[in-house]
Structure 1
């Protein structure tokens, strides 16, 4: 082997070592970028889940408030109806008592 061939072999070996080092660096960068991307995606998913949870809670509260208002309205209507019925029955009772008193004691 000539000196020139040995130098070429050594040069090829150096280039191979350099390529291997560049490959390792690129692989490391890709792994780091992948980890960073995964972490960013996890953070986004967590944020989206939190936003969704808050929105769902708000919607649930709104529905609950509407339901409470509806029940309160029905309750008020029922109470008003009962009061009206009571007043009507009370008036009839008073009329009946007056009629009975008039019949018993007359127009004295």
Structure 2
């Protein structure tokens, strides 16, 4: 039996396969968040999702509109600030895998995550 899926669903499934159980996962919103949540629900139940805004072990039931949307906060075990998230976790190497959306990608594959 052939299963039909969209390109978006395929990308989410592929991205989620990169998460291993127990890893710290840095996730944005939209497709990156769905990839992290799919991993947690299927093969990596002990993975820990962390948002840019500092929601630790987030378990949103609706897709938030931004990383600071209160829907992202649902079920999280703790909330820290942006400085702590980026400085003490991300820059200190405590994040195992991260997913971000791509607002702009140049001809060399560089991702613009700061401004347009």
With the shorter chain as reference, the TM-score category is under 0.3
Whichever of the two has the greater Rg, that structure is 1
**Relative contact order: is structure 1 or structure 2 higher (C-alpha 8 Å, sep ≥ 6)?**
2
TM-score, normalised relative to structure 2:
0.14
Structure (1/2) with the larger strand percentage: 2
